[in-house]
Amino acid sequence: MGIFNQIRRPRIALVAGTRPECLKLASVAKALRQHDGATSLLINSGQHLAMVERTLAQHGLAADIAAPQCESGSLSATLRRLRGAIRTCLREAAATLAVAQGDTSTAYATALAARDLGLPLAHVEAGLRTNHPLRPFPEEHFRRRIARLADLHFAPTASAERNLRAEGIAPARIFRVGQTSIDLLRETVHNPCADSELPALPAAPHLVVLTLHRRENYGRGLDVVCAAVLDLLAERPDVGVLCPVHPNPAVGARIRQHLSAHPRIVLTEPLDFRPFISLLARATLAITDSGGIQEEAPYLGTPILIARENTERPESLALGSANLVAVDAASIAAAARHLLDAPRPAALAFDASAPYGDGRAGMRIAQHLVAFHQGIVMDDAPAPLSLTA
């Protein structure tokens, strides 16, 4: 008999190990804490221990249980350590349901730990897929494996829901709720940070925000994108670049090697969510390999250039606000020039017609999680989103 069957009051454990997981679980955690039908707990997996502590604190949250810092190593070794640590934390929390977010090592390790303990698993941001089962690796691999283990699938978009159905997931287990990152974005847009919270900007009329961190761009990919940025600046004296440098040494050292000497490039430490969103809103263009920025930028009216082979967020491409460009210096520079001179796209409204939702996903997810424990159908739940993609 699993832990789930031994305790009557739901104890829902949300597991985060990276900054994006914190940001995308924040609205779920807050909604659950306002719900009388369950006890919610936040678990810090230890993948990026200090970063998770800091990010949660910025949003008025704190982990109830924290695993030790996970030592770096191979992907398989990291997964093994995280799986064991999360399993211990779930036991300590007397959790009755585990919640994983996204496609990180923590998310997959949470799914495996929940299976070890016989716990039901909910997956936030379920159903994202590229057109290749191993690209990007390991994220796409993790997504597909988590789907086989999850009991509840919270799909952010219509295309994500279709992907899950095509893979044989029972429709009754899929809930299209919108993207939780938009919950936080909506709150931030209505409460922007002060200029004093922003870093110094490059002295140029047009600001390009650059973010790089995906494993698929390690090594040569980083070299190519940096070369494209330098080519663009050589051609366009009216452009400056601001790049928050990812803390991973495999990324940061290479970016600094290529870009630190240019007078119109500002390299900063990773930025908190609110100041970063303010900068993204001011930017003429964003060049990125991030998934989250693909969702956030359309609500700000900021065009984006995605430096990747493929994307699991086709909605941004369909909107016309994003361009997917192969990691080739000439192609990236040419696409950037075009977007810098093109009219700025209109910002999406925070409503049900927006492909990533209306900014109320956390509330919906919390209600479904509690209802799952209670074994009821939510007749009074918010109506399904009318998303098209």
Residue 166 located in a structural domain:
yes
Instruction: Say which amino acid occupies 88.
Output: T
pLDDT of residue 216: 67
Residues 210 and 327 in one domain: yes
**pLDDT(22) > 80:** yes
Residues 40 and 128 in one domain: yes
Model pLDDT for residues 336-375, shown as the tens digit of each residue: 999 999 999 999 999 989 999 999 999 999 999 999 988 7
Q: Is 227 exposed, middle or buried (0-12, 13-18, 19+ CB in 10 A)?
A: middle
User: Contacts by 31-37 with C-beta closer than 8 Å and gap 24+?
Assistant: 31/362, 31/363, 31/365, 31/366, 31/367, 32/366, 32/369, 32/370, 34/366, 35/366, 35/367, 35/370, 37/10, 37/370, 37/373, 37/374
The single-letter DSSP state of residue 196 is: G
pLDDT of residue 388: 38
Number of domains the chain is built from: 2
195: number of CA atoms within 13 Å, CB side? Answer: 3
Residues 75 and 206 in one domain: no
Average pLDDT, stretch 10-32? 96
CA dist., res. 347 & res. 353, Å (int): 13
Residue 249 located in a structural domain:
yes
Residues 34 and 162 in one domain: yes
**pLDDT(150) > 70:** yes
Note down the domain range covering 295: 196-341
Q: Which residues are catalytic?
A: 103, 125, 139, 213, 215, 246
Show Cβ contacts of residue 41 under 8 Å, excluding neighbours closer than 6 positions. Answer: 11, 12, 13, 14, 64, 65, 93, 95
Residue 206 located in a structural domain:
yes
Average pLDDT of the chain is: 90
Residues 142 and 34 in one domain: yes
Sequence-ordered alpha helix ranges (H) in 66-206: 75-93, 105-117, 139-149, 158-166, 180-189
The distance of Cα 143 from the centroid of its chain, to the nearest Å, equals 13
Average pLDDT, stretch 73-83? 94
pLDDT of residue 230: 97
Show Cβ contacts of residue 277 under 8 Å, excluding neighbours closer than 6 positions. Answer: 185, 188, 189, 192, 296, 300
pLDDT of residue 8: 64
**What tokens were used for 184?**
């936080």
Residues 57 and 157 in one domain: yes
Q: Which residue has the higher pLDDT, 380 or 252?
A: 252
pLDDT band at 217 (very low <50, low <70, confident <90, very high): low
The two beta strands, 265-268 and 285-288, are unpaired
Strand, helix or coil for residue 178: coil
CA dist., res. 227 & res. 91, Å (int): 49
Residues 26 and 147 in one domain: yes
Q: Which helix (H) or strand (E) holds 201?
A: none
Model pLDDT for residues 223-256, shown as the tens digit of each residue: 999 999 999 999 999 999 999 998 777 787 898 9
CB 322 within 8 A of CB 304: yes
Question: Between the CA atoms of 282, 287, 293 and 295, what dihedral angle is there, to the nearest 10 degrees?
Answer: 100
Residue 191 located in a structural domain:
no
Q: Which helix (H) or strand (E) holds 39?
A: strand 39-44
Residue 134 located in a structural domain:
yes
Check whether the bond before 138 is cis (ω within 30° of 0): yes
Residues 226 and 325 in one domain: yes
In the chain, the percentage of residues whose pLDDT exceeds 90 is: 74
Residues 174 and 246 in one domain: no
Show Cβ contacts of residue 147 under 8 Å, excluding neighbours closer than 6 positions. Answer: 123, 126, 127, 153, 164, 167, 169
Model pLDDT for residues 281-337, shown as the tens digit of each residue: 999 999 998 888 999 999 999 999 999 888 889 999 998 889 999 889 999 999 999
pLDDT of residue 376: 60
CATH number (domain holding residue 203): 3.40.50.2000
Strand, helix or coil for residue 6: coil
Residue 92 located in a structural domain:
yes
**pLDDT(134) > 80:** no
Residue 348 located in a structural domain:
no
Q: What angle do CA 128, 130, 133 make, to 5 degrees?
A: 105
Average pLDDT, stretch 129-134? 84
Residues 34 and 161 in one domain: yes
Model pLDDT for residues 111-122, shown as the tens digit of each residue: 999 999 999 999
Residues 16 and 66 in one domain: yes
CA dist., res. 140 & res. 128, Å (int): 8
| Terminal C-alpha separation, the chain | 42
Beta bridge pairs of residue 42:
14
In the chain, the percentage of residues whose pLDDT exceeds 70 is: 93
* Residue whose entry in the numeric block shows the structure tokens 């008999």: 1
Residues 265 and 291 in one domain: yes
Average pLDDT, stretch 203-208? 94
pLDDT of residue 277: 95
3-state helix, strand, coil in the chain (%, to 5): 45, 15, 40
Residue 309 located in a structural domain:
yes
**What tokens were used for 316?**
């941004």
Question: Between the CA atoms of 276, 277, 281 and 286, what dihedral angle is there, to the nearest 10 degrees?
Answer: 60
**pLDDT(187) > 60:** yes
Average pLDDT, stretch 126-142? 89
